[in-house]
Structure 1
Amino acid sequence: MAALTIDPTEQPRMYQQTLLQDGLCDLLENDKFVDCVLKINDREFPCHRLVLAASSPFFKAMFLSDLEERKKREIILRDVNPDVMGMILRYLYTSDISLTEQNVQDIFMVANMYQIPSIFSVCVSYLQEKLVLGNCLAIFRLGLLLDCPRLTLTAREFICERYQLVVRDQDFLQLGPSELALIITSDALNVEREEQVFESLMDWVGHDQKSRVKDLSELLHCVRFRLIPVDYFNEKVERHQYLRFNQDLVKELELVKDAHRGRLPKPKRLSKDEAKGGDGSEEEEDDEEGYLPGILNNNPRFGMFELDLILMVSNTGTVAYDPVGNECFMASESTEIPKNHSSLVTDQNQIFVVGGLLYNDEDKDEPFKSYFLQFDPVSSEWLGMPSQPNPRCLFGLTEAENSIFVVGGKELKDGEHALNSVMIYDRQSFKWGESDPLPYEVYGHGTVSHKGLVYVIGGKSESKHA
């Protein structure tokens, strides 16, 4: 038994808990003292009322109430997947559960429905560890749905740190007004310019203009317009199609224009009921500091304190150089960078590495692919992106129109023939595709982009045309 591996003199509480749980599991497996059966559809789960009541306030209240279930041996549960309930019951008896990205949300929902805090906490910890760009918004919304502040705040922090990437996700456009407000009101938003917050809000409204324009009166107070340059405010904000014909919104923007002229409204004090819950005195209220409207908030965001750095990337680590302070420091100790790679910094300050060989023995048709990594400045780690198909070397690398272009090069196969193909990675769909080929094969060339056009310069070609 598991309890035998624990020293009862050093860990008496853990020893007793483990011994008790092992004993309960043994009773269940041998159908001893079973006094309750949970029935879901055509599945039955024998168990003990004592275990259910001790693990769940829901079942405890049921068994102590005057409901019929108190006396019945068989308890029918509805709207529950029997496989999920089976996993939860197994955990209550063994502390063992196999969470996956496919089942964690269902288990989380059932744990919330039947008030099982131990399972709830395990699911929260699992989801916190599994936060990535592809699921952070879904986990954020799940935390709000289940009223779980711990999960909601962790997901919001992740979103704020990577806001410029998250807004590219189609799930961002599916957020509700209150969900969006919780994100864009945060001081922790990692944006260099407040214009990015305004533009992302307008994109969100444009996704469903008819139903969302009405939310602008509140959501505009989440944007810190005093941090936006006056010229941009006059040209892009005041003249925006969603704002200029709405008199209520124009009136709100007048507050910002007055602030630009140095005229701020008198700060409003909270009412006695709001400030003190109805118990405050007049004297206390007079001492209470007033508040300006949210639309006049001018506190800088987290991302506005960033430094400009030069990164030197190699297979032994990533070193950052601060040209202002004339200092170097280790940005990442990851050694997973391939030796033969090309690196790219996009207009949005995203850093990518492409190159090297990645072998997948499960893919019989194309076992070799190239590494494709993105640097995460928050965790100082290189994140694995969808592998580049058709591995190659001596290629050109550039970006244009929200896409990354891998141009020409030499194939990493027998013969190492030069290539004329062009692979494109779409940063919005997170997928690779292929565009029209070059007019000739080329490798060892320079590749740049300008105003949406990609240029190939120099290089060598087997056909001698470069």
Structure 2
Amino acid sequence: MDGRAGALAEELRVYQMTLLQEGLRNLLDEDKFVDCILKVGDKDLPCHRLVLAACSPHFRAMFLSNEVSDEGEQPAAQRKGKKENLDVQVPKEVVLDDVDPTIMEDILRYLYTSEIDITDDNVQGIFSVANIFQIPSIFTVCVSYLQRRLGLGNCLSVFRLGLLLDCPRLAVVARDYIAERFSAVAKDPDFLELAPHELIAIISANGLNVEREEEVFETVLSWAKADREARMNSLPDVFDCIRFRLMSIEFFRDKVEKNEFVKADPQLQKNLQLVKDAFDGKIPDANKDAGSAKDSKSKDVESDVEQEMPLLPSILNDNRRFGMFNKELILLVNDEAAVAYDPLGNECFLAAISAQQVPKNHSCIVTRENQVFVAGGLHHNEENKDNPYQSYFLQFDHLECEWIGMPPMPSARCLFSLGEAENSIYSIGGQELTGNTTLDSVLCYDRKSFKWGESDPLPYKVYGHSVVSHKGLVYVLGGKTPEKKCLNKMLVYNPKKFEWKELPPMNVARSLCGATVHKNKIWVVAGVVDNGLTASVEMYDIASNKWEIAVEFPQERSSINLVSSNGVMYAIGGFAMVKNEKEEFEPREINDVWKLQISAALAQCSLPTFQLFINSSTSSSAGISYAITVCTLLGQKQAHHTIPYHTQILPACK
């Protein structure tokens, strides 16, 4: 059959199916040949048994068994001479208990029209009913809908629904989604409600996106503490899925062996003795019976290839998780794109195209859980007369390589800074976009409830300041007063005590300076002073509560970005006063990278050649190419290079 003949056959098939479906729908609308009434709650739903039987194995079996039963009760002579008259046949009533009438009505309409309105509110109900009555087409539609709508707010319920309805396709997709975002999902209160077999299916996955196995152990402890009595008996099976050999020996001895659950359970102690022996180099002989309790309890969710025999006890599993293969990258973000730079491998990667999502003049932050957020920026919406200025709030999805819109900041502001502690992100101080009013207010975003609120205000109004976060505390450094005077003040906020505290001031009053925590010291580099720019550098020793003067940066700059990565501190970009062709000084954006040497001298860092292609609908060219000069610099200043994106630098984005 050639292509044209095949297309014609397909066209005829679709045409015939359409005619058949429209004919059945017309018969239902005209109440013709109706031989069945579905009694669902307070509703009577007329239909045709033939349609139900054709679409549902459940109804087909029901009607066939009823026919056999009815014929068996009649005399043979009556069955032989019986004359069918469908027009006068009394419709058979079928009572459906424990089914929502509205959902059943939607499903029945779908059988006749192929149309169904699935929403977040009704998808689980439709999914369950379709599963009960074995209607595969609706089942597939619901699975596809849930896969498309999968998110942090519903991934656990979708995963549990997939297990409950024995739908591996849905359960595996949801499980993988949870594994990829394990740190965030584990904070959801619903995570503590997981059944043991559901938890096992998640934490046994190789694709778990965690950097340290200690995080898995601590998550299991939180789950166990939520219902101690009911879950004690399940802990040996759950512990079998924790890869203790990936932990540090110190953590295992101090946190695992001394844990209250371990001390109270002889079976746990016996199992963990195998791990203890393995740390000492004593690996038991593999045997064919060793396996994991998860194998019989995860309901076939794990899709990995069956391991070859023989096997070690599952508690000795030392295969690294997906997240343990990550590397530290420096993320550079502006309104065009996000680029990740690997300073150790000397490589650059395109992380995402901003596509007008990321505004200019924004603030960035990366949390301890490695979540990247962009806040604020300048967006002017001329169509919104009441509130033309908007402050966006975006989160970077490193798996999909795109920016996700989050609840926007309650008020538009600029020249503020972001900090984080516990599960909150703080937008501190700044200026209003209209009126240039300097603020002392602090907005707080709860990452659990996804809501903004007010936090404790600053002791004074400030803008253009720097903020760093360290060990649950938020530090505010420098900035300017409403009178545009630079400050040397330093504050620390303790969210547990709900209080701001003033710390020893900096030696130099400055604003728009670079700041980061490097080796337990807060470094402050360059910035704006009352009479111009500065290249001065100082560092605050958190332990001794004292400031020290450090070596100056090679050039006076403002808005420089600092980042500490892999034990090295980098200084990137900023603005400097540079001579133009007329030998006059003018502000210019600088795109170079420097690193702090062991000798405490700053030396420029080299980058490789890098090209970025961006499709453009406004240009005839295929894209835009950016090249980065490669040079080797050891302790002395060399010819500088440029990088394509530099507006904000974020540490430890992995």
Q: When the two structures are superposed, what TM-score results if normalisation uses the length of structure 2?
A: 0.65
The aligned residue for residue 30 of structure 1 is 30
Higher helix share: 1
1:326 is displaced (CA, Å) by 1.7
Q: How many residues align?
A: 443
1:354 is displaced (CA, Å) by 0.6
The one-letter amino acid paired with 1:317 is A
The aligned residue for residue 316 of structure 2 is 296
User: Retained in 1: the 8 A contact 2:34–2:91?
Assistant: no
Query: Greater shift after overlay, 247-256 or 68-77?
Result: 68-77
Change (3 A) 1:69 1:49: farther
Long gaps (5+) in structure 2 = 1-6, 72-89, 291-307, 488-654
Question: What root-mean-square deviation, in Å, do the aligned CA atoms of Structure 1 and Structure 2 show?
Answer: 2.4
The one-letter amino acid paired with 2:164 is L
User: Retained in 1: the 8 A contact 2:377–2:392?
Assistant: yes
Long gaps (5+) in structure 1 = 1-6, 272-287
SS at match of 1:387: coil
1:10 is displaced (CA, Å) by 4.8
User: Retained in 2: the 8 A contact 1:63–1:69?
Assistant: no
SS at match of 2:211: coil
1:32 is displaced (CA, Å) by 2.1
The aligned residue for residue 92 of structure 1 is 111
The 5-angstrom pairing of residues 9-158 of structure 1 reads 9-66=9-66, 73-158=92-177
User: Which of 220, 245, 248 is equivalent to 2:267?
Assistant: 248
The aligned residue for residue 369 of structure 2 is 348
SS at match of 1:290: coil
1:25 is displaced (CA, Å) by 1.5
Change (3 A) 1:245 1:365: farther
SS at match of 1:263: coil
Change (3 A) 1:154 1:43: same
The aligned residue for residue 164 of structure 1 is 183
The aligned residue for residue 235 of structure 2 is 216
User: Which of 231, 252, 262 is equivalent to 2:281?
Assistant: 262
User: Which of 382, 386, 394 is equivalent to 2:403?
Assistant: 382
1:370 is displaced (CA, Å) by 2.3
Equivalents in 2 of 1:362, 1:31: separation in Å? 52
SS at match of 1:265: coil
The aligned residue for residue 596 of structure 2 is none
User: Retained in 2: the 8 A contact 1:369–1:389?
Assistant: no
Equivalents in 2 of 1:63, 1:211: separation in Å? 44
1:119 is displaced (CA, Å) by 0.6
1:309 is displaced (CA, Å) by 1.3
The aligned residue for residue 194 of structure 1 is 213
The one-letter amino acid paired with 1:22 is E
The aligned residue for residue 178 of structure 1 is 197
User: Retained in 2: the 8 A contact 1:407–1:423?
Assistant: yes
The one-letter amino acid paired with 1:187 is N
The aligned residue for residue 280 of structure 1 is none
SS at match of 1:198: helix
User: Retained in 2: the 8 A contact 1:440–1:463?
Assistant: no
The one-letter amino acid paired with 1:312 is L
Q: When the two structures are superposed, what TM-score results if normalisation uses the length of structure 1?
A: 0.90
Query: Greater shift after overlay, 65-74 or 444-453?
Result: 65-74
Equivalents in 1 of 2:338, 2:484: separation in Å? 38
SS at match of 2:277: helix
SS at match of 1:11: helix
Equivalents in 2 of 1:171, 1:363: separation in Å? 39
The aligned residue for residue 421 of structure 1 is 441
User: Which of 345, 353, 373 is equivalent to 2:394?
Assistant: 373
SS at match of 2:260: coil
Equivalents in 1 of 2:318, 2:101: separation in Å? 52
User: Retained in 2: the 8 A contact 1:310–1:322?
Assistant: yes
SS at match of 1:110: helix
The one-letter amino acid paired with 1:458 is G
- Report Cα offsets for 1:295-353 as digits up to 9, x if no partner: 10011111111122111112212111122222222111232111221111112211111
Query: Greater shift after overlay, 179-188 or 332-341?
Result: 332-341
Equivalents in 2 of 1:101, 1:363: separation in Å? 30
1:89 is displaced (CA, Å) by 0.9
- Report Cα offsets for 1:234-270 as digits up to 9, x if no partner: 1111111211232221111110011111111221214
Equivalents in 1 of 2:121, 2:199: separation in Å? 26
1:401 is displaced (CA, Å) by 2.3
Query: Greater shift after overlay, 23-32 or 399-408?
Result: 23-32
The one-letter amino acid paired with 1:123 is C
The aligned residue for residue 311 of structure 1 is 331
User: Retained in 2: the 8 A contact 1:62–1:69?
Assistant: no
Equivalents in 1 of 2:70, 2:179: separation in Å? 47
1:363 is displaced (CA, Å) by 11
The one-letter amino acid paired with 2:43 is R
1:386 is displaced (CA, Å) by 2.0
Equivalents in 2 of 1:218, 1:96: separation in Å? 45
Change (3 A) 1:314 1:121: same
Query: Greater shift after overlay, 351-360 or 237-246?
Result: 351-360
Change (3 A) 1:359 1:179: farther
User: Retained in 2: the 8 A contact 1:181–1:222?
Assistant: yes
- Report Cα offsets for 1:96-153 as digits up to 9, x if no partner: 1111101101111111111111111100000000000110000000001111010000
User: Retained in 2: the 8 A contact 1:441–1:463?
Assistant: no
1:69 is displaced (CA, Å) by 9.6
- Report Cα offsets for 1:35-69 as digits up to 9, x if no partner: 21212222222211111000111110111013789
1:14 is displaced (CA, Å) by 2.3
1:431 aligns with 2:467: no
Equivalents in 1 of 2:424, 2:408: separation in Å? 15
User: Retained in 1: the 8 A contact 2:38–2:46?
Assistant: yes
- Report Cα offsets for 1:69-107 as digits up to 9, x if no partner: 998522222211111111111111111111110110111
SS at match of 1:244: helix
1:367 is displaced (CA, Å) by 8.3
Change (3 A) 1:339 1:357: closer
